[in-house]
């Protein structure tokens, strides 16, 4: 009985102690529990508004042109209280003119899609960003990507995507005309021309619709036909920055392009007049068997052009004397930071760019029809035969010349190409006029 009484008293004493101290202990433990799981928000070193302008980039899964970037902006603002992004959409047609004008009068944004544009860099408008790259970040970027944003050994941009060009091939038309698709998407220039001749229908043949072998588009900043101009090894500007599209290789390329339309008559009659959208429509409607095209058109046709029921594949540009399927391309898209007076704001701008271009974003590039500038993104299209083929072809893409007047030079080149295709101007005249008209941009080139 004594032992039983002792145990009873002990239990009663324990219960009384628990009743007295329990709430205090519970409250203390509850506070620790909350603090343990509470998300810490780091106060940024700088607070304020960052102005950001960007071009549209089509999301081929939903048709949105700015949805992906607006989503990333909201996420960044939520994670960085006190920093707000003032986003302004730019027009694809005249956005660059807007950026140039704003920079000249000091009304530019803090961040723009100009990290590899020599005009902005050489004019002193952009901040060098070398110190903001970690060693691991540098190693992950492809060498070509960093080269495009580097000027005089300084990095001025952060690459976020790569784009390419390709030849879209309508498989049904190839089959109907008993034309073999190029094995592995590779063909010589002679094979290319012979295929186009067979793919082009005889005009006026009863019971058949006119189908043309090939189509493309000419416009400022569009290089979809450059693969034909460079087929024999021509270059527009050499390694020393001199104008180079004036030799026998250039004349061969111009002649080949001229003959496709005016001699072989295998192009769409409006080749040279059509814009990008019109040329794409001619392919979707089965009026052109081959289209010299932007790579983003591949997922666009799959995701947004189902009603046309186009079965297609892709091929590289034909090979001539160059022995490689070369073409010119404004390959890497990048963001740069305009000059700032506050170093903390520069860091905030860089943090924002890094967030919206982080490698976790890599898979979303497929929705835009773009490629990754990172080595870690090489497997993005490993299960997509067409896009993987285009990805490999980026190895043959010549970057745009690092000339601050390139866009003026490009406008002259595009104008003369249109004159040749639409009005029959001879290749010799085109080459001579191009050289004469661009001369002033090289005589005044100082950087």
Cα–Cα distances in angstroms (integers) from residue 344 to residues 47, 87, 106, 225, 315, in the given order: 9, 20, 20, 45, 48
Closest CA to 349 of 123, 135, 132, 96: 132
Distance CA 266, CA 39 (A): 64
Crossing angle of helices 189-199/248-262, nearest 10°? 10
Closest CA to 213 of 253, 251, 163, 263: 263
pLDDT digits (tens, 9 = 90+) for 331-384: 999 999 999 999 999 999 999 999 999 999 999 999 999 999 999 999 999 999
Contacts 24+ apart (CB under 8 A), 64-72: 65/89, 68/364, 68/367, 68/368, 69/356, 72/355, 72/356, 72/361
pLDDT digits (tens, 9 = 90+) for 215-251: 999 999 999 999 999 999 999 999 999 999 999 999 9
Cβ–Cβ under 8 Å, residues 333 and 296: no
Q: Which residue has the tokens 């628990």?
A: 18
Distance CA 156, CA 346 (A): 12
Q: What is the pLDDT of residue 34?
A: 44
At residue 443 the predicted structure's pLDDT band, cuts being 50, 70 and 90, is confident
User: For 374, which DSSP code?
Assistant: B
pTM: 0.88
Distance CA 52, CA 353 (A): 10
pLDDT digits (tens, 9 = 90+) for 254-272: 999 999 999 999 999 999 9
pLDDT digits (tens, 9 = 90+) for 74-101: 999 999 999 999 999 999 999 999 999 9
Cβ–Cβ under 8 Å, residues 164 and 399: no
- What SS3 state is found at 116? coil
pLDDT of 41 higher than 80? no
Distance CA 122, CA 151 (A): 8
Distance CA 383, CA 436 (A): 48
Please compute the mean of the pLDDT values over residues 5-22 and round it to a whole number: 57
Please compute the mean of the pLDDT values over residues 187-197 and round it to a whole number: 98
Going from the N-terminus, what domains does the chain have, and what CATH number goes with each?
48-163+330-399 (3.40.190.10), 165-329+403-443 (3.40.190.10)
- What SS3 state is found at 389? helix
What beta strand segments (E) does 183-339 contain? 212-215, 288-294, 312-315, 327-329, 332-337
Cβ–Cβ under 8 Å, residues 420 and 431: no
Q: Which residue has the tokens 């899609």?
A: 113
Closest CA to 410 of 237, 165, 181, 211: 237
Token pair listed for 322? 């160059």
């Amino acid at each position: 009985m004594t032992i039983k009484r002792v145990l009873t008293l002990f239990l009663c004493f324990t219960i009384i102690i628990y009743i007295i101290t329990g709430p205090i202990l519970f409250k203390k433990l509850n506070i620790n529990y909350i603090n343990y799981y509470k998300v810490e928000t780091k106060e940024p070193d700088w607070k304020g508004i960052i102005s950001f302008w960007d071009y549209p980039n089509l999301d081929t899964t939903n048709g949105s042109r700015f949805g992906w970037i607006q989503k990333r902006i909201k996420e960044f603002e939520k994670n960085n209280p006190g920093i707000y992004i003032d986003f302004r959409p730019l027009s694809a047609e005249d956005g660059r003119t807007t950026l140039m004008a704003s920079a000249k009068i000091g009304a530019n944004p803090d961040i723009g899609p100009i990290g590899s544009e020599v005009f902005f860099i050489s004019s002193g408008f952009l901040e060098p960003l070398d110190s903001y790259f970690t060693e691991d970040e540098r190693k992950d970027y492809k060498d070509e990507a960093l080269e495009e944003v580097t000027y005089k050994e300084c990095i001025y941009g952060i690459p976020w995507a790569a784009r390419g060009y390709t030849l879209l091939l309508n498989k049904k038309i190839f089959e109907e005309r008993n034309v073999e698709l190029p094995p592995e998407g590779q063909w010589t220039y002679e094979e290319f021309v012979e295929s186009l001749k067979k793919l082009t229908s005889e005009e006026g043949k009863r019971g058949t619709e006119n189908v043309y072998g090939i189509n493309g588009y000419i416009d400022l900043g569009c290089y979809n036909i450059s693969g034909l101009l460079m087929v024999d090894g021509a270059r527009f500007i050499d390694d020393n920055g001199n104008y180079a599209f004036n030799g026998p290789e250039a004349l061969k390329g111009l002649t080949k392009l001229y003959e496709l339309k005016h001699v072989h008559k295998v192009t769409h009659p409006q080749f040279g007049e059509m814009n990008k959208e019109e040329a794409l429509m001619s392919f979707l409607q089965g009026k052109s068997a081959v289209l010299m095209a932007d790579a983003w058109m591949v997922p666009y046709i799959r995701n947004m052009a189902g009603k046309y029921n186009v079965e297609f594949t892709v091929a590289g540009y034909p090979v001539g004397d160059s022995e490689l399927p070369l073409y010119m391309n404004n390959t890497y898209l990048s963001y740069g930071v305009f000059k700032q007076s506050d170093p903390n704001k520069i860091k905030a701008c860089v943090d924002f760019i890094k967030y919206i271009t982080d490698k976790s974003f890599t898979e979303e590039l497929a929705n835009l029809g773009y490629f990754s500038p990172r080595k870690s993104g090489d497997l993005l299209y490993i299960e997509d035969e067409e896009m993987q083929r285009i990805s490999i072809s980026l190895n043959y893409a010549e970057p745009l010349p690092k000339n601050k007047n390139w866009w003026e030079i490009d406008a002259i080149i595009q104008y003369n190409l249109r004159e040749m295709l639409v009005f029959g101007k001879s290749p010799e005249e085109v080459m001579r006029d191009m050289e004469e008209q661009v001369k002033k941009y090289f005589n005044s080139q100082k950087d």
